[in-house]
Chain A
């Protein structure tokens, strides 16, 4: 995840982690299409979160992400075939802390997944944190590397 975040910096990266019984077994990088997909701005607008329409296309991906819907569907299909569940949804914050923004909270449609954020605010010291976001409430989620 950190490698993915660094590769795309200053743009936000995003992806999915899948596993079973809370153990991650598979990692899917998903393309951030926020700058390319006109619908992304409409989704943000509908949720009354960050306005994107005023930003130039290139800047949008520095402050927001929108997962490519086709890649998402393919990842979910792959999870079913591998009999894995969605464990976490991650994205990077390239210049802000690893805490969910009001945009992240307003667009959190997956109560079963942990939302993980990789912060590159301190470039040499990436910070990764996980949260449950349910009914607009943010609760830190525990995880450890094995």
Chain B
């Protein structure tokens, strides 16, 4: 099982839960498993080309997956995955 932290904007899809568990050997597999339990989640995280949306930060054990292997980053039992939307703006 992988523990996944869900940001507040996505919690309506997880019945308000901020932490859920899912199975998968990679980030993409965990997202697919999450989507099977909480339909709609995948669509919020991926763009129309099937790539992770730019504003979505995903961390595995506090490492940004952009510096690992992106959504193909491997996961193992007990790993923690955090989904954190970017915070940005301007004038």
**Size category of the binding interface on chain B:** 20 to 34
| Contacting pair A43 B91 (CB below 8 A) | no
B43 within 8 A of A: no
Chain A interface SS verdict (over half): mixed
Of the listed stretches A18-26, A88-96, A136-144, chain B binds: A88-96
| Contacting pair A96 B57 (CB below 8 A) | no
Residues in A whose Cβ lies below 8 Å from that of B86: 43, 66-67, 69, 107, 109
Across the interface, B87 reaches (CB within 8 A) one of A103, A110, A111, namely A110
B15 within 8 A of A: no
Residues in B whose Cβ lies below 8 Å from that of A44: 88, 90
Residues in B whose Cβ lies below 8 Å from that of A17: none
A53 within 8 A of B: no
A interface residues, how many (CB within 8 angstroms): 44
B66 within 8 A of A: yes
| Contacting pair A101 B91 (CB below 8 A) | yes
Across the interface, A109 reaches (CB within 8 A) one of B55, B66, B91, namely B55
| Contacting pair A43 B55 (CB below 8 A) | yes
B50 within 8 A of A: no
- Minimal Cβ-Cβ distance residue in A for B47: A46
B82 within 8 A of A: yes
Closest CB in chain A relative to B32 CB, distance in Å? 22
A64 and B88 in contact, given A39-B66, A46-B55 (Cβ under 8 angstroms): yes
| Contacting pair B87 A72 (CB below 8 A) | yes
